[in-house]
Structure 1
Amino acid sequence: MRSVISRWPATLLAALVLLAVMPGTASATAAGNGNTLTGDADLVVVMKAERELYLYRDGLIIAQYPIALGLAPVGTKRMRGDDKTPIGAYTLDWRNPNSDFHRSIHISYPNAADRARAAALGVPPGRNIMIHGQPDYDDRPRTGDWTHGCIAVSNAAIDQIWAHVPDGTPIHIYP
């Protein structure tokens, strides 16, 4: 079985993992690019390989947004300065309305396991991993992965996420 699974595309495996975690998603429909939202999300899911962020409510996708990641997007964050976006289960725990990146919402990285892994390596784990918009200090268009570990979206997307994702919402980040 291992040889069959190893040939599956990463996106299919990630989708199967998501379905295993979120049993109600098989019948979910994405809001698409219009993302007309009412009510709050109760879960945020990031699929790094697909470069997509999903908002869920009651097991259904209510919105999705394209994302950019850290400059070294493969794998999980291990230490400060590695330009990786973490993988794992976290919480969106506070927000910055005066961010240099339009608006930003903090991801609770590093958690206890992240700190222990970094300590075992003798390195600092890093901090201030956020979901954020585009830089306010520079209006050049951004393409590809360009952050230092954060999850970047358009300014319109961060405005919607800001309005519909309360502090305390869980975020699951998948490879």
Structure 2
Amino acid sequence: MRRRIVVAVTLIGLGAGGVAVAEFLQIGRTEPPLLPEPERADRILVEKAARRLTLLRGEQVLATYPVSLGFTPAGPKTREGDGRTPEGIYSIAFRNPKSVAHLSLKVSYPSPADAAAAQARGEAPGGDIMVHGLMNGFSWAGRLHRMMDWTQGCIGVTNAEMREIYARVDVGTPIEIRP
């Protein structure tokens, strides 16, 4: 009996490991198509203090998602490596279906003003700020990721949530990130 339990646990572990490897290698990943225009967001609002991302079309709320932020979430991003999520008005620069974090939407940070302010301080402003899913191989964490702010300055959601967001947001969509 004990041997059967050990074999069953081992097989389950290998199966879960295989899923993680397939996910890490992006095997079988598909890019969700954009929804029709009337179902897409024309604006994204991120409220850092509330840990919330809202997709809007006009004044209508299409969907709201809880998020994780950079590992030092208070205050605006000022330099590379500070662990902060930027604050301000940006736009979605591109959609990445081959992201290291499931799927991602690139935020246009740094703005020219962000870059100039960092340069005046003699610092690099940083970049590669994304709205993204969980790191490849870690989808098993699901909603547990919300227990802490873990990104390098990005806006993290679950993979299922990212698929929904990705289908509703096109390049050029404005994103406002508030304190």
AA aligned opposite 1:108:
S
In the TM superposition, what are the counterparts of 1:1-175 in structure 2 within 5 Å? 39-139=39-139, 141=141, 142=145, 143-175=147-179
Q: Which runs of 5+ in 1 are unaligned?
A: 1-36
CA distance in 2 between counterparts of 1:138 and 1:164 reads: 24
Higher relative contact order (CA 8 A, sep 6+): 2
- Deviating beyond 2 angstroms after TM superposition, the runs of 4 or more aligned structure 1 residues are 137-143
Query: Could you report, residue by residue, the CA deviation over 1:111-136 in whole angstroms, capped at 9, with x for unpaired residues?
Result: 01100110111000001000000111
Instruction: Give how far 1:59 is off.
Output: 1.4
Distance 1:64 1:139, change over 3 A: closer
Query: Could you report, residue by residue, the CA deviation over 1:65-90 in whole angstroms, capped at 9, with x for unpaired residues?
Result: 00000000000000100000000000
AA aligned opposite 2:133:
G
Identify the structure with the greater helix proportion: 2
CA distance in 1 between counterparts of 2:130 and 2:114 reads: 16
SS class of match (2:39): coil
Percent of aligned positions with the same letter in both sequences?
45
* TM-score in terms of structure 1 length: 0.76
AA aligned opposite 1:60:
Q
Q: Which runs of 5+ in 2 are unaligned?
A: 1-35
> What is residue 3 of structure 2 aligned with on the other side?
none
RMSD between superposed Cα atoms in Å: 1.4
Instruction: Give how far 1:62 is off.
Output: 1.1
Aligned length: 139
| Contact 2:66–2:157, Cα closer than 8 Å, also in 1 | yes
> What is residue 10 of structure 1 aligned with on the other side?
none
Tell which structure's C-alpha radius of gyration is larger. 2
* TM-score in terms of structure 2 length: 0.75
Instruction: Give how far 1:138 is off.
Output: 3.2
Instruction: Give how far 1:139 is off.
Output: 4.5
CA distance in 2 between counterparts of 1:164 and 1:140 reads: 24
